[in-house]
Structure 1
Amino acid sequence: MSDMTIAPRRRSRFGLYFMPVLVLIAAVAWTGFWFFAASQVGVQADAWRAQEARAGRVYDCANRSVAGYPFRLEIRCADPSVMLVEQTASPQTSFVAKLAEILVVAQIYDPKLVIAEFKGPATLAEHGAPPSFAVNWSKGRSSVVGLPAVPQRASLVFDDLTIDRTAAGAETPLARAGHVELHGRQIDGPTPGSQAIETVLQIAGGTLQDVHPLLTQPFNADIHARLNGLKDYSPKPWPQRFREIQAANGSVEIVQSRIEQGDVVSVAAGTLRLNAQGRIEGELQMTVAGLERVIPALGIDKLLEDGVPQATLDRVAPGVKSQDISNLFGALNRAIPGLGKVIQQNANAGLTATINSLGTEAVLEGKKARSFPLRFADGAVFLGPLKVAQIPPLF
């Protein structure tokens, strides 16, 4: 019987090449998809710019490039600018903001989430005029969800923010902040079918110049607010927008506000509205720890030593003349030498006691505090019965 040799069965190499071929096909398809998406960036950007231009926000980009293959789209815009048309009380006035560069990043599988980084400095000017403000930062970034439609939520963050007023080539410090965050989102309004905007503003190490000496010292702020009554986002002069909010019975609800400056801590909550004359109405319930340190910081003691300006008396004591106060102190000094000076020097302590009597004792973050209402009536601001400011109408 002859030996029979069975030839070995040739193994198919299909399985050996299947996965590499599949990966290659997927890579080619993904590459084609990415380049198609990249080619649509310009189309979508132009459509979005046209939409924004109709809303009064004109965007421009001197040089645009697209990168980020394979999983991201990175759109880099050099020398970008935005012109805001009909956004102010003077509809014929437009403002132009210019930046050094913007880098916009979107994941190709989630294009509605856009993250951007801003490179300073930036300038702000009236159209056709020299820059009036210069803004700079060490790191600036934002995130927006919901584009290209109206954003559902957005965040803006800056580190080492500086704002200067510019005039005749010179810059004057206006504001500083070590860290700033602004978050906003759309939420359901107080009535069925209405919309509201919820915002959170956080400032760390902030200072403001040319507003009040108290604000020149570093402060931290954390403010949570809700705006009701905003109908749309189209460009309108601010008086018109405020008038629409008032007609819709809109309001600004301060859900919680906390401001800290050294040993002074203040919290507040309440609701403010506009009346038919465009003046602010409402009330904020405030609690302040370290109130006795606020009085000297406001400069009231120095004010009493140097004399009381008539404008101040008009706010806090209408009808009383500044000259009458000076004459009274002089007469006291003539009758009993030094008496007028003693009264002036002790007026600050008396005023502190008066403010303390306006509210009730409280404890804030383990510190002794005073709780009192800050009332707004027809634009006037009252600390208890004491009128401390007058805010002009907003329309």
Structure 2
Amino acid sequence: MPADSADQKSEIKHGKGSKRFLWSLAIILLLLFTAWSGLWYYSYSTTQTLVDRIVAKEINGQKILTCHDQALGGYPVRLALDCSSYSAMDPATGWQVSGGPMQVYWQIHEPTRASIRTSSRLHIENAAIGQSLDVTGGMIKGSVLLAPPDHVQTVSLEAEEATLVSNDPFIGQSLGTVKADRLAFQLSPTAQSNSDIELSLEASELSIKQIPILNGEIKFTAIGGLDALMQDRNNPAALWLRQSGKIANIDGRLEVGQKTLKLTGDIAFNQAGLANGILRLRILNPSIETAKVKQTLSAERDGFNGPLTGLQLMGKPIRDGDLVGSEVKIKLVNGAMKAGFLPLGNLPPLR
């Protein structure tokens, strides 16, 4: 057989094999595309039914959730619900959250986690008691993780370039307008017990009236907090004080000017809302090896430097990684705070 004829047959056979492979690949991709589209449409239909049911729900003639100009889309990788404006109300307590526009979205592979984004003002109000809080930010993001069937497992909220303004006279006089480059909050049941709540707060460049700029985070566990919240939404704090009033596993880190503060301990509130317990406060500075020379101090960032240095001298010398300083034991008795014999003021009662 001539060599040319054998080569031609080989090329024809190779060409047919390549075409079969391409056709097979195309069919597989088409099947995958069809299956994914079917999954997305099923999720879309299920979610649209859920959204319609929630939006239609009323308690005592009051709508729980309003989403104006709602549109559900997001194909192919997620589901996205757009609202030109929204409001959500808890008729049991009278609290209402409103704002807009807003987008809520779910990933197809994680339908129990809803993420929320908005760049508009968030208005929180209780008309019955005349209190309101406005939160503005370059971007406000939230997340809700659900556990079947309708149990909220985790709630988080984050605001960038945030400003908080409250009409409450006590908050206004003591805190003024609160500003921060970033504020974050998370609430979830603990892994050990579904009756306890773990809360965490984070802030960067936090500015509060008459207080130096702060950076840091704190987390703690409210023992029995979730039970109280589920049993009495009108006044869960009062019920929690009667049933538990215990705060455990406090773990905080705060940067104030040149100093780093670390706080640990447990406290318990009596039924009058007054705190009792022992806290351990570490007041730390950079070690000589890592310290950066700062020519001048400013009240904006270093306003607590003097009092903290004085308190630091009363503690036990310690080293904490690259930081050095002292640990001070703070005792709380019915809201009154003392470090040794030195009074540090009083915590207001928890209401």
TM-score scaled by length of structure 1: 0.65
Q: Distance in 1 between matches of 2:106 and 2:312?
A: 54
CA contact (8 A) 2:317 2:326 kept: yes
CA-based RMSD: 4.0
In the alignment, which residue of structure 2 is the partner of 1:112? Answer: 112
Relative to 1, partners in 2 of residues 1:158 and 1:358: Cα closer, same or farther, differing over 3 Å?
same
Unpaired stretches in structure 2, ≥5 consecutive residues: 1-15, 169-174, 286-297
* Aligned residue type for 1:155: S
Offset at residue 207 of structure 1 (A): 0.9
Q: How far is the alpha carbon of 1:107 from its aligned partner?
A: 2.0
> Is the alpha carbon distance of 1:48 and 1:228 closer, same or farther for their aligned partners in structure 2, counting shifts above 3 Å?
farther
For residues 308-359 of structure 1, the C-alpha deviation after alignment (integer angstroms, 9 at most, x for no partner) is: xxxxxxxxxxxxxxxxxxxxxxxxxxxxxxxxxxxxxxxx99x976x45643
Instruction: Please tell me the residue identity of whatever aligns with 2:76.
Output: P
Q: Corresponding residue for 2:270?
A: 275
TM-score (norm 2): 0.72
Cα distance in 2 between the residues matched to 1:143 and 1:53: 25
Larger relative contact order (CA 8 Å, sep ≥ 6): 1
Where is the strand percentage greater, Structure 1 or Structure 2?
A: 2
Structure 2 match to 1:121: 121
Q: How does 1:339-378 map to 2 (within 5 A)?
A: 355=311, 358-364=314-320, 366-378=322-334
**Aligned ranges 1:90-169 → 2 under 5 Å:** 94-127=94-127, 132-147=132-147, 149-165=150-166
State the number of aligned residues: 312
Asked if 1:60 is matched to 2:66, the reply is: yes
2:4 corresponding residue in structure 1: none
Match of 1:7 in 2: none
- For residues 82 and 39 of structure 1, do their structure 2 counterparts lie closer, same or farther at Cα, with a shift above 3 Å needed? same
Residue pair 1:86, 1:235 contacting (<8 A) in 2 also: no
CA separation in 1, counterparts of 2:260 and 2:63? 39
Deviation at 1:248, TM superposition (A): 3.7
Whether 2:265 is the aligned partner of 1:259: answer no
Aligned counterpart in structure 2 of residue 71 of structure 1, from 53, 66, 77: 77
Paired position in structure 1 for 2:220: 225
- Residue 52 of structure 1 deviates from its aligned partner by 9.6
Cα distance, 1:205 vs structure 2: 0.7
Please list every run of 5 or more consecutive structure 1 residues that lacks an aligned counterpart in the other structure.
1-10, 88-93, 300-347
Q: Is contact 2:220-2:247 (8 Å) kept?
A: yes
Q: Which amino acid aligns with 2:74?
A: G
Change (3 A) 1:25 1:382: same
C-alpha contact 1:207 1:219 (8 A) present in aligned 2: yes
Per-residue deviation, residues 52-76 of structure 1 (Å, max 9, x unmatched):
969x993221121011112311111
Question: Post-superposition shift, 1:262?
Answer: 1.1
Secondary structure of 2:230's match?
A: coil
The percent identity for this pair of structures is: 19
Separation in 1 of the partners of 2:283 and 2:39?
59
